[in-house]
Structure 1
Amino acid sequence: MSIAQQIAKIQLELTPYASKLIVVTKTRSIDELLSVHTCGTLDFGENRVQEMVEKQAQLPQDIRWHQIGHLQTNKVKYIAPFVHLIHSVDSWSLLAEINKQAAKNNRVIPCLLQMYIAQEDTKFGLDKQEAIDILQNPALTQLENIQIVGLMGMASFTSDTDQIRQEFKLLKGLFEHFKSQQTGVGSGRVAWNEISMGMSGDYLLAAQEGSTMVRVGSAIFGPRA
């Protein structure tokens, strides 16, 4: 199948669940990305800041860039002028730096708190109490150039679909708990709208469990070289 056919197939699969497709463009060529753009798909996800910055300069300006990989505070300034959504906020210090750099660019940058849901030591993310500490920090009201709009999580790298489903249920449960409790909403900096979970191997499972956006690369482009 062509890139266009793969995108159309995945979008059709996602239609009953109203999950948005984020096309993961890590290591992919400019020509491949232009093929995605030609399909009318505008949400591109990158893991590495340098790669995102280089591609953003060469591609149409209507693309919505999603930072989906681990983000270091010293790299925020490079993407602050244009990034559409940062999925991977895993500390108060990172959130504060995003606010600082967004203010310099006269922007409000939407962010997701990355939750640790996998049974792997290699994944980043917050536990429930760490997220609450951020959401209930009195200083959150002063971060006028960010908005926390939901949660992101990465399931374990395993073929055990029952385990993956349980991890997605865990993230959805945390989201619903925070939303029902209106956690952080009083700060004016929080709105519970998005759950980012699911990748090429499990995006349909994630959509079934309530993901509002899935991050898919190899299922569109094929395996990386």
Structure 2
Amino acid sequence: MVNTEAYKNLKEELDQKGVTLVAVSKIKPVSDIQKLYDLGQRDFGENYVQELVEKQPQLPSDMRWHFIGHLQSNKVKYIAPFVHLIHGVDSQKLLKEINKQAVKLDRVIPVLLQVYIAREESKFGLDAAELEALLTAEETAGFRNIRIEGLMGMASFTSNTDAVRAEFNTLKGLAERWASHITENIQLKTLSFGMSGDYTIAIEEGSNMVRIGSLLFGARN
């Protein structure tokens, strides 16, 4: 069930602040996604390659599909033809594969680098040193068919808002540190962090892209 009222209020709030709303539609039916599309939503986030590949042909072609899950290198080829933005890039190996598939398709695929900011073992991402190594690597500079558009991260799952704010602040600090490191294929303009439970703190801490699911679609089973 789509919460139409919540969507309209949230969209208005985010538009005023210049923040992109990615509606997280994983395990939600095509009919619900179409309803949000009909209300004007264009950016949708999916976590699973197979699910995204099944949904994409059933929905309007001007949707902007964001892959927000953990992407395995051998699955890149399935989403490369149409994906709008890949959020969770956390290795040089994955970056290389995305570039390789983009070359075949003669397109440039935008990506975000995932930074590990949470105090939990289950989250993926690069630490500060790994981020530096990837951004400054000669090999990265040679990838002509990807564009590193920014950074993304996920805060710890906790009710401690101070801890969440500190984690977001860490990510913002890294983004600011590398903001001037602009090359042909590195332009760190997007900061993607914040979900249904913590997006207000995220925006206060500098996020300009939030990934919202349960507020729009209701809780997942």
Shorter-chain TM-score tier:
over 0.9
Displacement of 1:192: 1.6
**Moved beyond 2 Å, runs of 4+:** 1-4, 12-17
CA distance in 2 between partners of 1:141 and 1:209 (Å): 29
Instruction: Tell me the residue number matched to 2:43.
Output: 43
CA distance in 1 between partners of 2:159 and 2:99 (Å): 38
Of 185, 190, 214, which residue of structure 2 is paired with 1:189?
185
Within 5 Å, give how 1:50-199 maps onto structure 2.
50-179=50-179, 182-183=180-181, 185-186=182-183, 188-199=184-195
1:143-201: CA deviation from partner (whole Å, max 9, x where unpaired)? 1100101100000001111111111111111101111xx23x24x21002100000111
CA distance in 2 between partners of 1:162 and 1:4 (Å): 31
Unaligned runs of 5+ in 1: none
Unaligned runs of 5+ in 2: none
Within 5 Å, give how 1:27-38 maps onto structure 2.
27-38=27-38
Alpha-carbon contact 2:109-2:145 (below 8 Å) kept? yes
Equivalent position SS for 2:50 = helix
Q: What TM-score do the two structures reach when normalised by structure 2? A: 0.97
Matched to 1:222, the amino acid is G
Alpha-carbon contact 2:2-2:35 (below 8 Å) kept? no
CA distance in 1 between partners of 2:155 and 2:165 (Å): 9
Of 209, 215, 221, which residue of structure 2 is paired with 1:219?
215
Equivalent position SS for 1:97 = helix
Matched to 1:210, the amino acid is G
Matched to 1:194, the amino acid is T
1:66-120: CA deviation from partner (whole Å, max 9, x where unpaired)? 0111100000000000000001000000000000001111110001100000000
Instruction: Tell me the residue number matched to 1:9.
Output: 9
Displacement of 1:2: 5.1
Q: What TM-score do the two structures reach when normalised by structure 1? A: 0.95
CA distance in 2 between partners of 1:46 and 1:103 (Å): 23
Displacement of 1:3: 2.7
